Amino acid sequence: MTSKKIRLDKYYTSEEIAEHCFKKTLKIIGEENITEFIESSAGNGVFLDMMEKYTPNISYKAYDIEPDDDRIIQQDYLELDMEYKEGRVCGFNFPFGNRNVLLWKFYRKSITHSEYIVSILPISQFNNDQQLYEFDLIYSEDLGKQLYSGKLIHCSFNIYKKPINGINIKKNNYKLKDVTIKENRQARNQYIPSTYKYDIGICVWGDVGKELEYERQYNQEAYIKINNEDIKEECITLIRNANWREIYPMSTSPTLKQWQIYKYLKEQIPQLE
């Protein structure tokens, strides 16, 4: 693998991971619901091998700006003109790019013409419906750290489906009236009001989940107030004991988002409003 290909964001998937993800795609979506496959960044064709092996009767098209397989059309996928087709499955190996910019572009291109989006993604997208929110997230799996072109990367595998009523316009809102969260962000000179009375404070960047011993102990902190006295102690105990990096697998620069705190609390204490 040349350094040029790595610079082009070609982190090739192993045959083992490709087979696992392809089989999972068939299980979750159902082979009978698939009319066509589109691979948007096909690289060396490892997912095409899976299509030919497991679904020889389903047609596919594969594109790459610098293909390494004769089955792949040399084409900038982002400039491709394609009409929507029901049952079409697109993706498999979206490039990430710097700060995931390419990932967003490939995803948003794909939702214009396909009913399903499947792809290996950065671990930050595991169970994350706040960034790629236009389609419904119907499956998310932590793949762990795997070798891609010799580089160890922690990834997830996500499957999205077009909503019945079209495109989701807004992200899911996980905020709760029983819980208030305010943040200190020292790099932005953003601090909680002096009048804000909180019940527990935790670090949300770096040493995520670490309970504060004093204010402004860390660069980024969440100060959490429980507004429901009946379940206040239960919420505080849950926050204090949560292993956030296990609940939400994170990258090498771990960050805990407010929506993740709200979502976890609601899942564990359904009576929260």
- pLDDT of 13-68, one tens digit each? 899 999 999 999 999 999 999 999 999 999 889 999 999 999 999 999 999 998 98
Boundary of a domain, candidates 111, 131, 161:
161
Tell me the percentage of the chain whose pLDDT exceeds 70.
95
238, with CB counted inside 10 A (0-12, 13-18, 19+), is middle
Boundary of a domain, candidates 110, 134, 161:
161
Sign of the four-CA dihedral 48, 50, 53, 55: negative
Tell me the percentage of the chain whose pLDDT exceeds 90.
79
Give yes or no for a contact between 238 and 269, defined as CB atoms under 8 angstroms apart.
yes
Least confident of 6-15, 90-99, 137-146: 6-15
- Is 235 a domain residue? yes
Torsion of CA 254, 258, 263, 269, to 10 degrees: 110
Which residue type is seen at 117? I
Residue 262, C-beta contacts closer than 8 angstroms, at least 6 positions apart:
174, 175, 176, 179, 181
Q: Does 214 lie in the same domain as 83?
A: no
Q: Does 237 lie in the same domain as 263?
A: yes
Domains identified in the chain, total number: 2
Residue 214 has pLDDT above 50, yes or no: yes
Which tens digit of pLDDT belongs to each residue from 156-196? 999 999 999 999 999 999 999 999 999 999 889 899 999 99
- Is 87 a domain residue? yes
Boundary of a domain, candidates 161, 195, 223:
161
Q: Which of 69, 77, 74 is nearest to 110 (CA)?
A: 77
Residue 9's pLDDT band (cuts 50, 70, 90) = low
- CA 51-55-56 angle, to 5 degrees, is 90
pLDDT at 10: 58
pLDDT at 132: 94
**Other C-beta atoms lying within 10 Å of the C-beta of residue 155:** 26
> Higher pLDDT residue, 102 or 89?
89
What residues make up the domain containing 226? 179-268
**Spatial distance between the Cα atoms of 219 and 239, rounded to a whole number of angstroms:** 19
pLDDT at 149: 65
Q: Residue range 232-237: average pLDDT?
A: 97
